[in-house]
Protein backbone atom coordinates (compact mmCIF):
# COMPACT_ATOMS: atom_id res chain seq x y z
CA UNK A 1 0.00 0.00 0.00
CA UNK A 2 1.42 3.37 -1.08
CA UNK A 3 2.11 5.99 1.54
CA UNK A 4 0.73 9.48 1.41
CA UNK A 5 2.04 11.61 -1.46
CA UNK A 6 4.55 14.26 -0.31
CA UNK A 7 3.14 17.71 -0.14
CA UNK A 8 3.90 20.32 -2.78
CA UNK A 9 5.88 22.28 -0.21
CA UNK A 10 8.05 19.27 0.53
CA UNK A 11 8.68 18.62 -3.17
CA UNK A 12 9.61 22.27 -3.67
CA UNK A 13 12.05 22.08 -0.75
CA UNK A 14 13.69 19.03 -2.32
CA UNK A 15 14.02 20.77 -5.67
CA UNK A 16 15.53 23.83 -4.02
CA UNK A 17 17.96 21.61 -2.10
CA UNK A 18 19.14 19.97 -5.33
CA UNK A 19 19.43 23.33 -7.05
CA UNK A 20 21.43 24.69 -4.09
CA UNK A 21 23.82 21.73 -4.27
CA UNK A 22 24.24 22.22 -8.03
CA UNK A 23 24.79 25.96 -7.55
CA UNK A 24 27.40 25.26 -4.88
CA UNK A 25 29.16 22.77 -7.13
CA UNK A 26 29.08 25.30 -9.98
CA UNK A 27 30.41 28.06 -7.72
CA UNK A 28 33.24 25.86 -6.47
CA UNK A 29 34.16 24.88 -10.03
CA UNK A 30 33.94 28.50 -11.15
CA UNK A 31 36.18 29.75 -8.34
CA UNK A 32 38.61 26.89 -8.95
CA UNK A 33 38.92 27.75 -12.64
CA UNK A 34 39.23 31.46 -11.82
CA UNK A 35 41.98 30.76 -9.30
CA UNK A 36 43.81 28.50 -11.73
CA UNK A 37 43.51 31.02 -14.55
CA UNK A 38 44.63 33.90 -12.33
CA UNK A 39 47.70 31.92 -11.25
CA UNK A 40 48.48 31.16 -14.90
CA UNK A 41 48.20 34.83 -15.75
CA UNK A 42 50.41 35.85 -12.84
CA UNK A 43 53.09 33.36 -13.88
CA UNK A 44 52.95 34.63 -17.46
CA UNK A 45 53.33 38.25 -16.32
CA UNK A 46 56.27 37.32 -14.08
CA UNK A 47 58.02 35.68 -17.04
CA UNK A 48 57.38 38.68 -19.30
CA UNK A 49 58.66 41.09 -16.64
CA UNK A 50 62.13 39.56 -16.74
CA UNK A 51 63.19 42.22 -19.21
CA UNK A 52 61.11 45.08 -20.51
CA UNK A 53 61.89 46.32 -23.99
CA UNK A 54 61.31 49.60 -25.74
CA UNK A 55 59.77 50.01 -29.14
CA UNK A 56 61.13 52.17 -31.96
CA UNK A 57 59.19 55.11 -30.55
CA UNK A 58 61.47 57.57 -28.76
CA UNK A 59 61.74 61.33 -28.90
CA UNK A 60 63.29 64.25 -27.08
CA UNK A 61 60.84 66.82 -25.73
CA UNK A 62 62.48 69.56 -23.76
CA UNK A 63 64.77 67.99 -21.20
CA UNK A 64 62.92 64.65 -21.37
CA UNK A 65 63.73 61.62 -23.47
CA UNK A 66 60.40 59.87 -23.95
CA UNK A 67 60.68 56.12 -24.53
CA UNK A 68 57.70 53.91 -25.30
CA UNK A 69 58.32 50.88 -23.10
CA UNK A 70 56.16 47.97 -24.26
CA UNK A 71 55.00 45.40 -21.72
CA UNK A 72 53.16 42.30 -23.03
CA UNK A 73 50.43 40.93 -20.75
CA UNK A 74 49.52 37.30 -21.49
CA UNK A 75 46.09 36.13 -20.33
CA UNK A 76 46.36 32.35 -20.43
CA UNK A 77 43.11 31.82 -18.55
CA UNK A 78 39.50 31.34 -19.52
CA UNK A 79 38.11 34.69 -18.43
CA UNK A 80 38.43 38.34 -19.41
CA UNK A 81 40.64 40.80 -17.54
CA UNK A 82 38.94 44.15 -16.91
CA UNK A 83 40.38 47.56 -16.06
CA UNK A 84 44.03 46.49 -15.99
CA UNK A 85 46.38 49.28 -14.86
CA UNK A 86 50.15 49.31 -14.50
CA UNK A 87 52.51 51.47 -12.47
CA UNK A 88 56.23 51.07 -13.23
CA UNK A 89 59.04 52.58 -11.15
CA UNK A 90 62.50 52.64 -12.77
CA UNK A 91 65.42 52.70 -10.34
CA UNK A 92 69.17 52.21 -10.15
CA UNK A 93 70.68 52.98 -6.75
CA UNK A 94 74.18 53.26 -8.21
CA UNK A 95 73.14 56.09 -10.52
CA UNK A 96 70.62 57.87 -8.30
CA UNK A 97 69.01 57.16 -4.94
CA UNK A 98 65.56 58.36 -6.05
CA UNK A 99 63.54 56.83 -8.92
CA UNK A 100 64.77 57.66 -12.41
CA UNK A 101 61.24 57.57 -13.80
CA UNK A 102 57.70 56.64 -12.76
CA UNK A 103 54.99 55.92 -15.28
CA UNK A 104 51.45 54.53 -15.44
CA UNK A 105 49.36 52.86 -18.13
CA UNK A 106 45.79 51.67 -18.59
CA UNK A 107 43.10 50.86 -17.90
CA UNK A 108 42.80 48.21 -20.60
CA UNK A 109 40.91 44.95 -21.12
CA UNK A 110 42.36 41.61 -22.25
CA UNK A 111 40.13 38.76 -23.47
CA UNK A 112 40.52 35.19 -22.31
CA UNK A 113 43.36 33.37 -24.04
CA UNK A 114 44.45 36.77 -25.38
CA UNK A 115 47.56 38.94 -25.33
CA UNK A 116 47.58 42.60 -24.44
CA UNK A 117 50.48 44.95 -25.14
CA UNK A 118 50.51 47.79 -22.65
CA UNK A 119 52.56 50.88 -23.57
CA UNK A 120 54.36 52.66 -20.77
CA UNK A 121 55.28 56.08 -22.19
CA UNK A 122 58.19 56.79 -19.88
CA UNK A 123 59.93 60.15 -19.50
CA UNK A 124 63.57 60.15 -18.41
CA UNK A 125 64.48 63.71 -17.41
CA UNK A 126 67.97 64.64 -18.57
CA UNK A 127 67.90 67.71 -16.31
CA UNK A 128 67.92 65.63 -13.13
CA UNK A 129 71.19 64.63 -11.40
CA UNK A 130 71.34 61.32 -13.27
CA UNK A 131 70.86 62.99 -16.66
CA UNK A 132 74.54 63.31 -17.66
CA UNK A 133 75.19 59.67 -16.81
CA UNK A 134 72.19 58.42 -18.78
CA UNK A 135 73.17 60.54 -21.77
CA UNK A 136 76.67 59.09 -21.97
CA UNK A 137 76.32 55.56 -20.58
CA UNK A 138 74.24 52.47 -21.22
CA UNK A 139 72.76 51.14 -17.99
CA UNK A 140 70.82 48.23 -16.57
CA UNK A 141 67.88 49.69 -14.69
CA UNK A 142 65.91 47.79 -12.12
CA UNK A 143 62.35 48.46 -11.21
CA UNK A 144 59.05 47.41 -9.71
CA UNK A 145 55.85 46.86 -11.65
CA UNK A 146 52.49 47.12 -9.87
CA UNK A 147 49.50 45.57 -11.65
CA UNK A 148 45.84 45.91 -10.68
CA UNK A 149 42.86 44.41 -12.51
CA UNK A 150 39.57 42.60 -12.15
CA UNK A 151 39.57 38.98 -13.29
CA UNK A 152 36.39 37.25 -14.40
CA UNK A 153 34.56 40.39 -13.24
CA UNK A 154 34.65 39.22 -9.61
CA UNK A 155 38.24 38.50 -8.53
CA UNK A 156 40.66 41.42 -7.96
CA UNK A 157 44.28 40.88 -9.05
CA UNK A 158 47.11 42.78 -7.38
CA UNK A 159 50.65 41.86 -8.42
CA UNK A 160 54.06 43.29 -7.60
CA UNK A 161 56.74 42.15 -10.04
CA UNK A 162 60.43 43.05 -10.27
CA UNK A 163 61.80 43.80 -13.73
CA UNK A 164 64.98 44.77 -15.56
CA UNK A 165 65.23 47.38 -18.30
CA UNK A 166 68.19 48.06 -20.58
CA UNK A 167 68.78 51.78 -21.10
CA UNK A 168 70.61 52.74 -24.28
CA UNK A 169 72.45 56.07 -24.10
CA UNK A 170 72.17 58.54 -27.01
CA UNK A 171 75.87 59.49 -26.62
CA UNK A 172 77.28 56.04 -25.79
CA UNK A 173 81.00 55.30 -26.28
CA UNK A 174 81.72 58.96 -26.86
CA UNK A 175 85.32 59.79 -27.73
CA UNK A 176 86.95 63.07 -28.66
CA UNK A 177 90.26 63.07 -30.53
CA UNK A 178 92.31 66.03 -31.71
CA UNK A 179 94.68 66.27 -34.62
CA UNK A 180 97.88 68.27 -34.93
CA UNK A 181 97.38 72.06 -34.98
CA UNK A 182 98.56 73.61 -38.28
CA UNK A 183 99.24 77.28 -39.12
CA UNK A 184 96.66 79.05 -41.27
CA UNK A 185 96.54 82.51 -42.93
CA UNK A 186 95.37 85.55 -40.96
CA UNK A 187 97.40 84.55 -37.89
CA UNK A 188 95.20 81.56 -37.03
CA UNK A 189 95.81 77.90 -36.27
CA UNK A 190 93.54 75.07 -37.45
CA UNK A 191 92.81 72.20 -35.06
CA UNK A 192 91.17 69.12 -36.63
CA UNK A 193 88.83 67.39 -34.20
CA UNK A 194 86.91 64.13 -34.46
CA UNK A 195 83.92 63.38 -32.24
CA UNK A 196 82.51 59.85 -32.26
CA UNK A 197 79.54 58.39 -30.42
CA UNK A 198 76.78 55.81 -30.86
CA UNK A 199 73.08 56.46 -30.34
CA UNK A 200 71.77 53.39 -28.50
CA UNK A 201 68.22 54.73 -28.01
CA UNK A 202 66.20 53.21 -30.88
CA UNK A 203 64.31 55.73 -32.95
CA UNK A 204 65.70 58.76 -31.12
CA UNK A 205 66.93 61.76 -33.11
CA UNK A 206 68.31 64.77 -31.23
CA UNK A 207 69.12 67.84 -33.30
CA UNK A 208 71.24 70.65 -31.93
CA UNK A 209 74.77 71.99 -31.92
CA UNK A 210 78.11 71.32 -30.30
CA UNK A 211 80.03 74.29 -28.95
CA UNK A 212 83.73 73.56 -28.61
CA UNK A 213 85.90 75.75 -26.39
CA UNK A 214 89.71 75.73 -26.40
CA UNK A 215 91.13 76.72 -23.02
CA UNK A 216 94.79 77.32 -22.14
CA UNK A 217 96.43 75.80 -19.12
CA UNK A 218 96.10 79.09 -17.19
CA UNK A 219 92.33 79.14 -17.76
CA UNK A 220 92.32 81.68 -20.62
CA UNK A 221 89.84 80.88 -23.39
CA UNK A 222 91.59 80.79 -26.77
CA UNK A 223 88.60 80.30 -29.02
CA UNK A 224 85.06 79.03 -29.12
CA UNK A 225 83.28 77.55 -32.12
CA UNK A 226 79.86 76.01 -32.78
CA UNK A 227 78.84 73.45 -35.41
CA UNK A 228 75.57 71.51 -35.96
CA UNK A 229 75.04 67.89 -34.92
CA UNK A 230 72.28 65.29 -35.20
CA UNK A 231 72.22 62.14 -33.09
CA UNK A 232 70.69 59.80 -35.64
CA UNK A 233 70.45 56.11 -34.63
CA UNK A 234 73.68 54.17 -34.79
CA UNK A 235 77.28 55.45 -34.94
CA UNK A 236 77.94 59.14 -35.53
CA UNK A 237 81.32 60.57 -36.56
CA UNK A 238 81.85 64.33 -36.73
CA UNK A 239 84.99 65.68 -38.34
CA UNK A 240 85.37 69.40 -37.81
CA UNK A 241 88.06 72.05 -37.69
CA UNK A 242 88.41 74.62 -34.96
CA UNK A 243 90.28 77.85 -35.77
CA UNK A 244 92.12 79.71 -33.03
CA UNK A 245 94.50 82.70 -32.85
CA UNK A 246 98.15 81.77 -33.22
CA UNK A 247 98.77 83.44 -29.86
CA UNK A 248 97.40 80.33 -28.19
CA UNK A 249 100.26 78.18 -26.95
CA UNK A 250 98.29 74.88 -27.05
CA UNK A 251 100.77 73.52 -24.54
CA UNK A 252 98.54 71.91 -21.92
CA UNK A 253 95.40 73.34 -23.56
CA UNK A 254 92.10 71.47 -23.53
CA UNK A 255 88.93 71.31 -25.61
CA UNK A 256 85.61 71.36 -23.78
CA UNK A 257 82.42 70.73 -25.72
CA UNK A 258 78.75 71.19 -24.92
CA UNK A 259 75.80 69.74 -26.84
CA UNK A 260 72.86 72.16 -26.88
CA UNK A 261 69.31 71.55 -28.00
CA UNK A 262 67.04 74.47 -28.90
CA UNK A 263 64.10 72.80 -27.15
CA UNK A 264 61.67 74.11 -26.15
CA UNK A 265 62.81 74.36 -23.48
CA UNK A 266 66.49 74.52 -24.42
CA UNK A 267 68.99 72.37 -22.57
CA UNK A 268 72.71 71.64 -22.68
CA UNK A 269 74.84 68.54 -22.16
CA UNK A 270 78.45 68.79 -21.01
CA UNK A 271 80.64 66.37 -22.95
CA UNK A 272 84.04 65.17 -21.71
CA UNK A 273 87.00 67.56 -21.70
CA UNK A 274 89.95 66.41 -23.80
CA UNK A 275 93.59 67.57 -23.80
CA UNK A 276 95.14 68.87 -27.00
CA UNK A 277 98.01 66.63 -27.96
Is position 107 within any domain? yes
Is position 238 within any domain? yes
pLDDT of residue 92: 93
Q: For residue 169, report the phi and psi dihedrals to the nearest 5 degrees.
A: -80, 140
Alpha-carbon distance of 275 to 277, in angstroms, equals 6
Per-residue pLDDT tens over the stretch 52-80: 666 667 888 878 888 888 777 777 777 78
Pinpoint the alpha helices (H) of the chain.
Answer: 8-48, 131-136
Is position 82 within any domain? yes
Confidence of residue 89 (pLDDT cuts 50, 70, 90): very high
Per the CB < 8 A criterion, the answer to whether 190 and 181 are in contact is yes
Residues 114 and 74 in one domain: yes
Tally of structural domains, the chain: 2
The SS3 assignment for 13 reads helix
For 159, the domain range is 31-167
Residues 155 and 195 in one domain: no
- Which of 108, 136, 167 is where one domain is finished? 167
Is position 109 within any domain? yes
Residues 156 and 190 in one domain: no
pLDDT of residue 49: 61
Q: Is the pLDDT of residue 51 over 70?
A: no
Alpha-carbon distance of 64 to 88, in angstroms, equals 17
Per-residue pLDDT tens over the stretch 126-151: 888 888 889 889 999 988 888 887 77
Residue in 274, 52, 34, 27 with CA at minimum distance from that of residue 161: 52
* CATH code for the domain of 51: 2.60.40.10
Is position 22 within any domain? no
Q: For residue 72, report the phi and psi dihedrals to the nearest 5 degrees.
A: -80, 135
- For 139, counting Cβ atoms within 10 Å of its Cβ (0-12 exposed, 13-18 middle, 19+ buried), the class is middle
Amino acid sequence: MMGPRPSALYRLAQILRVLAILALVFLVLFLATVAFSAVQMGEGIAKQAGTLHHSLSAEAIGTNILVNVTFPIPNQGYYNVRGLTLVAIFINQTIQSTPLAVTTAGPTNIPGYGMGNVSLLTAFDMANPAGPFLLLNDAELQGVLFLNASYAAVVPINLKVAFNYHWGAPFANLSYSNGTPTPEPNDTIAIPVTIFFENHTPGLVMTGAIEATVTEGNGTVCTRQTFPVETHPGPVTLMETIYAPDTCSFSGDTITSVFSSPGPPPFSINLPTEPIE
